C-alpha cells in the first residue's frame, strides 16, 4: 500500500525536509506520489524549486487543505492511464549568488522559463554540497553555471573536488567563468558567450538559440561512454603524486570520444559504481603494497550485482627470480575472479584504445 499524498515539513529533526523531498521524487516507487510542503509563506518559492506538488502555509486552514487534496486527487487519476512521458534533458543549474539577489535579475528568471518551454527539467542549487547530492540522486545531463562569480577559480576548484558534479559537462555563460573553468584539469567546459538579456530570452532571439545549441552539444557529450580510471598507488597513499602516464591516458580517452574521470577515493569509486554512471573501470596497477583497504574495496566491488567491465593495466616491474608476496597473489586472484583482462604496460596506446573501443561499442 502507498499513500495518496505525503506532507513534508522542512524542519525535520534529523534530515532536512528538502532532502527528504528530493529523495522521494528520485525514487521510482515514490516519485508519482504527490508531495505537499507545509511551511511558512517564505518557503513557497523553494518548494517549487524542489518539485513539490502542493504547498500549504502554516497554520493550515481547513478549506485550503481540502482544495489542495481535491486538486491533487483529480490530477492523479488520469495520470495513471496516461502514456509514459518522453524523457527530457535534466539540467542542474548552479546559482552561487543567493536567491534573494538573483530575484533582482529578470533575465535569470526568464532563462528558467525558456528551458521549461523546451521540455528541459531544471534542478537548482545554490551551494556545491546540495548540488552534489542532487547530481547523485537525479543524474542530470549537464550543469548550467550562472555567471558573475566573485572568485571563479576558487569556486571551480571546489566543484572539481565533487566527484559527481565534476564528471558532468559544464555550460558557462561568461568569459571569466569560461577561462577559469578551462584552467581546472578534468572539467568538460561548453561556453555560451552570447549575451542573454531579458528581451532576447523572452522573444527567442538568436542569443537564446545559441544557448540551446550549446546545451544540446553538451548533452550529447554527456551521453558518451564514461571511463573511470584509478591509480592504486595514489588511492593507497593520497599524498603520492598522480601518474603522469594515467593523466595522459585520460587525454587520449577523451580525444577518442569517451568521457574520462580519475577516481580519488574508494568511497567515491564505489558510489559511482553503485549509481551505474560508469561504463568502464580502468585500473592502473603499480609496484605497491596491497593494503587491507584495497582488498576490502575489491571484494565489495566483486559483490556488486551490476558492475561495469574492468580493464587492468599492469605497470609492475617484472624482475626474474622474484617471488610475489602472498597479498599480491591474493589480489591477482580477485582480479581474475572479476574477469578483468590484465594488459601489459608495454601495450601501444593505439592497441589499448582499440581494446577500450571493443569493450564500450
Give the residues across from 8 on adjacent strands. Answer: 37
Given the C-alpha cell 580517452, which residue does it identify? 253
Could you tell me the domains of the chain? 6-81 (3.40.50.2300), 90-222 (3.40.50.2300), 226-360 (3.40.50.2300)
List b or e across 266-283, with b for residues whose CB sees 16 or more CB atoms inside 10 angstroms. Answer: bebbeebbeeebbbbbbb
Q: What angle do CA 349, 354, 356 make, to 5 degrees?
A: 95
Of the candidate ranges 69-73, 144-148, 298-302, 324-328, the one whose mean pLDDT is the lowest: 324-328
For 75, the 3-state DSSP assignment is helix
What are the tens digits of pLDDT across the range 350-361? 888 888 888 887
- DSSP-H helix ranges across the chain: 17-26, 44-49, 62-81, 99-102, 106-117, 128-138, 152-160, 175-182, 198-203, 206-222, 232-236, 244-255, 266-274, 292-303, 326-337, 349-360
Q: Residue 107's pLDDT is what?
A: 45
Task: List, as one string, the DSSP characters of 22-56.
Answer: HHHHHSTTTTTS-EEEEE-GGGHHHHHHTT-SEEE
Distance between CA atoms of residues 47 and 54, nearest Å? 8
Q: How confident is the model at residue 199 (pLDDT cuts 50, 70, 90)?
A: very low
**Percentage of the chain surpassing pLDDT 70?**
79
Nearest to 8 by CA among 56, 48, 45: 56
Amino acid at each position: 500500500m502507498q499513500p495518496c499524498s505525503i506532507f513534508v515539513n522542512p524542519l525535520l529533526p534529523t534530515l532536512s525536509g528538502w532532502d527528504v523531498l528530493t529523495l522521494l521524487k528520485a525514487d521510482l516507487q515514490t516519485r508519482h506520489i504527490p508531495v505537499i510542503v507545509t511551511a511558512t509563506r517564505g518557503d513557497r518559492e523553494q518548494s517549487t524549486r524542489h518539485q513539490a506538488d502542493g504547498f500549504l502555509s502554516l497554520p493550515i486552514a481547513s478549506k485550503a487543505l481540502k482544495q489542495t487534496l481535491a486538486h491533487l486527487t483529480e490530477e492523479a487519476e488520469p495520470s495513471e492511464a496516461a502514456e509514459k512521458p518522453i524523457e527530457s534533458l535534466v539540467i542542474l543549474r548552479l546559482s552561487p549568488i543567493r536567491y534573494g539577489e538573483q530575484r533582482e535579475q529578470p533575465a535569470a528568471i526568464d532563462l528558467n522559463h525558456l528551458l521549461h518551454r523546451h521540455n528541459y527539467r531544471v534542478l537548482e542549487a545554490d551551494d556545491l554540497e546540495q548540488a552534489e547530492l542532487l547530481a547523485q540522486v537525479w543524474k542530470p545531463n549537464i550543469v548550467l553555471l550562472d555567471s558573475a562569480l566573485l572568485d571563479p577559480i576558487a569556486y571551480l576548484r571546489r566543484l572539481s573536488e565533487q566527484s559527481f558534479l565534476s564528471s558532468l559537462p559544464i555550460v558557462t555563460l561568461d568569459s571569466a567563468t569560461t577561462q577559469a573553468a578551462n584552467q581546472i584539469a578534468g572539467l568538460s567546459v561548453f561556453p555560451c558567450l552570447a549575451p542573454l538579456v531579458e528581451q532576447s530570452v523572452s522573444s527567442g532571439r538568436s542569443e537564446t538559440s545559441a544557448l540551446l545549441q550549446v546545451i544540446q552539444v553538451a548533452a550529447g557529450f554527456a551521453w558518451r561512454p564514461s571511463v573511470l580510471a584509478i591509480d592504486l598507488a595514489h588511492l593507497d597513499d593520497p599524498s603520492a603524486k598522480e601518474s603522469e602516464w594515467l593523466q595522459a591516458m585520460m587525454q587520449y580517452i577523451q580525444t577518442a570520444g569517451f568521457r574520462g574521470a580519475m577516481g580519488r577515493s574508494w568511497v567515491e569509486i564505489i558510489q559511482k559504481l553503485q549509481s551505474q554512471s560508469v561504463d568502464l573501470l580502468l585500473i592502473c596497477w603499480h609496484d605497491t603494497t596491497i593494503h587491507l583497504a584495497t582488498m576490502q574495496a575489491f571484494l565489495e566491488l566483486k559483490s556488486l550485482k551490476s558492475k561495469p567491465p574492468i580493464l587492468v593495466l599492469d605497470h609492475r616491474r617484472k624482475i626474474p627470480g622474484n617471488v610475489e608476496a602472498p597479498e599480491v597473489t591474493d589480489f591477482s586472484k580477485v582480479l581474475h575472479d572479476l574477469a578483468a583482462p590484465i594488459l601489459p604496460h608495454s601495450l601501444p596506446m593505439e592497441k589499448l584504445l582499440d581494446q577500450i573501443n571493443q569493450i564500450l561499442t
